[in-house]
Structure 1
Amino acid sequence: MSTLSSPVRPPADAPRPLYADVNAAVRAAGLMDRRLGPYALHFAFNILGLLAVLSAMVVWRNSWWLIPWAAVLAVVSVQIGFLGHDIAHRQVSRRARTATLLGLVHANLLSGLSYGWWVDKHNAHHAHPNDLETDPDVRAGVLIFDVSQALERRGLAATVTRYQAWFFFPLLTFEAVNLYFAGIRTMVRPGFRYRSTELLLIGLHTLVYLGLVVATMTWQQGLVFVAVHQGLRGLYLGVSFAPNHKGMPVLSTADEADPFLRQVLTSRNIRGGPVVDWALGGLNYQIEHHLFPSMPRANLPRAQVIVRSFCDRDGVPYAESSAPSSYADVVRHLYAVGAPLRLRD
């Protein structure tokens, strides 16, 4: 973001690709058409994964061999989250009622997260990514993503910011728990839509989850199982979302006003092929996803070819890196943000 150098700007008189032009090319290629087959396979994988973990808990009752299954459950939990993300973007169904129903099942019942809270938060992020005022993903919190925010820190918060680059990955292990309680805090406020339904579904999720742990493990095993599951789940979520925008520039007023530049310049893609596509839930095509949030995930690789051709034509920077390089960029950015506070010591 602002602590890193901005990408090379195209000349002021250079023609810039309009979002309408890219949109027309994508639609002409049929890339906004529904693709239910891949989502059906994804849903089947998630259900089979849950059944496999449940079977293991029954077969290996009161055994420490259940702990590795907590890692399996972490992977399945995040994959459920990826599918819920696509549902919320109307990639699976265009109908609001169907999308809401599927979203409540995947978010609240299967993941223990508030669907309504997450949709509001995520929509705000998509509207103005990396905007320090309006994007909730870069607002000041435990981690700070801009020097202007860092300079306002005092006391313990300033100490954390000084060394946040070292704390980054350990802190991600708490992300799943943080999302759980953030949603509940929002739901209990008056006027929250579907509050009773969401609270009921999250309560049922929590009851079944903890009930299975208590029924199949000793208390020591249960504590370790929950810690491993939630910790790895948070880490997996974090490493899936963090590379997409962290360390990318805060835009000028002119670039922010351009719908194409607003999404392209603030996003970073991750290379890697089909394995990375699956592991990151298609979020590795972050540029294309931000330009076309309702595009089915399976169509994003083809959309990338079109979007990149427009960027190459008009000299618009297109950020793409390997996963290790992206994580290194994020850590370097966090280190740079904390530098003024270290100099202040």
Structure 2
Amino acid sequence: MKELERYSRQILFKPIGEDGQKKLLKSRAAIVGMGALGTVIANHLVRAGVGFVRIIDRDLVELSNLQRQSLYTEQDANSHLPKVIAADRRLREINSSIEINAVIADLNLDNAEDLLRDVNIIIDGTDNFATRYLINDVAVKYSIPWIYGGAVSSRGMFAVIIPGKTPCYRCLFPEAPAGRGETCDTIGVISPITDIIGSFEAVEALKILVGAEPNPNLEQLDIWDYSYLQMDISQGRNAGCQCCVKRDFEFLDRSSSQQTSFTSLCGRNTVQISPRKGLELDFEKTAERLKSNGRVEYNSFLLRFFPDDQITIVFFKTGRALIHGTNDIATAKSYYARYIGS
């Protein structure tokens, strides 16, 4: 069959074969986040012939992305293209025979179910905990396998989550680390680790889509220090898990204390971000962490951070922040996620 000719070398790989390739062509995948991990994952899935790939991201291509985000070019950055639009164009050049659904959106409780419930696999390309808990809620609610992955500095980890069979994300991480702040924007990242973790995530997605057994472990590695940790999580389900046992989907519940409030302040070109579950920011440590990204001033009551010429962020002890310089909530959320973590 001519349709299968482009996948001939993949079909020769016995764990996939022709039957597996036909399954891939009928499969539907969603990738949340089209940064360093997401671009690697999308590249592999599109080349492998996954028949429908939805890519979701809220941000624009920036020059600082090009060091590690493999689908983008200087022209994309200079044109300020949304990441999913630039990625869509590149992916269609790679494989025009599959369907790519590019969605410019911030994944949140208003759209998460609509964007994720109609696929066979969800793959994490995000950089913050709140979105992962949201993905986990949708995945468990609709019994959709998903793959968690994260990379920062020279470290990375990934795990496969299959609702009803493996621990869910909340079994593994019952609470997000408050204000941890380890993001690519604050402590950096090297591109080999994002390539490696994204590739591992893509492999696990292919396994699930062809019906093979996925990796039962939470894998962690540091490629700079050459350290590796493999943890069997197959028996790690939490009997009291809020999500997969009690089916209390807090991150889909607007009244939940897990939600963060985002308010555009009328006439002030400012967005207020108020975590309902308060943080406790240490201004001295926060200032030390942020000073390489811009000017920082603080006193006993608040910390002012100037990441660029347009934006000023005022942080309060509880994690509440005023993002001055924009009235766009998605933009404000992006800044907050960069420098506080989620």
Which bin holds the TM-score, normalised by the shorter protein?
Answer: under 0.3
Highest relative contact order (Cα 8 Å, sep 6+), 1 or 2? 1
- Between Structure 1 and Structure 2, which shows a larger proportion of helix residues? 1
Give the TM-score of the pair, scaled to structure 2: 0.23
